[in-house]
Amino acid sequence: MKAFIYCGGDVLAENITEHPGAEDLSIAADSGYLNARALGARVDVLVGDLDSLGSAGVPSGIELIKLECEKDFTDTQAAVEIAIERGADDIVIVGGIGSRLDHTLSTVCILAYMKKRGIYCVITNGQNRVRYLENDSLLLARSNFKYLSLIALDKVCRGVSVEGCKYPLKNAKIMRENQFAVSNEIDGNAALVSVRRGAMLVIESRD
């Protein structure tokens, strides 16, 4: 089952083209409800401590899962757990990227958790699209996202290869302290990104 999780943060509504279908689960994490509403997306479940939802209130007809303000996990993490518990194996997180760097990084790190659980996950806010890659390969179709960047999360990522891009790589080594694989561009129909050993973020950006 596919699930959409709407979070707070900056979202370029005109660039969000995928929305929940009739069979999909749609969850809003606290102020993510405002982004969902701006996108015209259906919300099935609203979860959070509601500290940032403000005057929007809780709409009738939406399942509410109220959390304590003082807790050891974020509203987004809670939303992810609900999605998994209800059978999601494909999750799209919309938002979660904004001016609070701590919130942004904590959301991005959820991608590693998803990988460990065997769940496909992507984060997008319309301006960026982020995936997690570890000891694996990823095929990315050419799209309206202009740039493709690889950010090493491990101290060293080995056997990094990129095909179908302006700046190809073959069996390269990327170190966390020297992130040189930034602002590449897909110049074919698709790009194939692979890393033999290590974990990295694969980030597509519009500008």
- Which residues have CB under 8 Å from 193's CB, separation 6+? 133, 137, 138, 139, 140, 148, 150, 160, 161, 162, 202
Q: What is the pLDDT of residue 138?
A: 96
Q: Element (H or E) spanning 122, and its range?
A: strand 120-124
pLDDT for 123-151, tens place per residue? 999 999 999 999 999 999 999 999 999 99
Q: With a cut of 50, which residues of the chain have pLDDT below it?
A: none
Listed in order, strand segments (DSSP E) in 23-100 are: 25-29, 45-48, 63-66, 90-94
Q: What is the pLDDT of residue 54?
A: 59
Q: What is the pLDDT of residue 73?
A: 84
